[in-house]
Structure 1
């Protein structure tokens, strides 16, 4: 038996609807110039979003446990695709932007390292096919 099930159905054009086993759903589509209607994110974009969400949840959880007060937390993911098909991500950079007291910066760095080295399964999967880099920008 599978741990997770996502059912994805074709809904017309180039559009699909993925239904998750927890009741959520998303629309996946492509750009108009590729035959879609641009009604949802592209599959590879979702991969980058999953990476940001996974590491972000880890970091929030860890910072809360460390009692670190923070604000303005966001994550940018930047990626380069291979030139040949199938086009896959070859380089991925995760950029964390966060406001904390200078005394808590070491804790943020610890949380980022724990996420990428121990907790974030999506990051571990990306490590299998892409060169990963991470940056923290404090504001």
Structure 2
């Protein structure tokens, strides 16, 4: 099985890609020669991680019949001081909204995503430490 994405330069620092039938524009900030027309590549790395694990966690909790009012996943990335300015560590913060949520099931869902299902997480943790925290807001 293969996966493929292509990207096309549209001028200056901007590129456009079509991913699963959806357009994605990438560009640099104005201070780096871009026109701020789209996403920056490095934050998309964090968004990919959050999206991958989020889809896993939502699916697993549905199977566990855990009901909650909301879920927000934040990703914090420590960036190297020198070039190449890679992420040196990533931290996921899962913030569940709801009353009397079963913490053991939330922890199990996140652990299953980390250990078994999320391919993005599996790939990233080979390169940098990835940690997480679970918060419940009533």
Q: Please state which band the TM-score falls in when normalised by the shorter chain.
A: over 0.9
- Separation of aligned partners in 2, 1:103 and 1:123: 25
The number of residue pairs the alignment matches comes to 137
Q: CA RMSD in A?
A: 1.2
* 1:77-136 superposed Cα distances (whole Å, 9 cap, x missing partner): 000111222111111110000024435221111000100111111111110111111001
User: What is residue 42 of structure 2 aligned with on the other side?
Assistant: 44
After TM superposition, the score normalised by the length of structure 1 is 0.93
Structure 1 residue 11: Cα displacement: 0.5
d(CA) in 2 for partners of 1:128, 1:103: 32
Q: Which residue of 1 aligns with 2:7?
A: 8
2:78 to 77, 80, 90: 80
1:1-139 matches, within 5 Å, as 3-20=2-19, 22-102=20-100, 104-139=102-137
Superposition TM-score, scaled by structure 2 size: 0.94
Structure 2 stretches of 5 or more lacking a match? none
CA deviation vs aligned residue, 1:49-99 (integer Å, no higher than 9, x gap) = 000000000000000111110112100000011122211111111000002
Counterparts of 2:58 and 2:99 in 1: how far apart (Å)? 16
Contact 2:101 2:136 in 1 (8 A): no
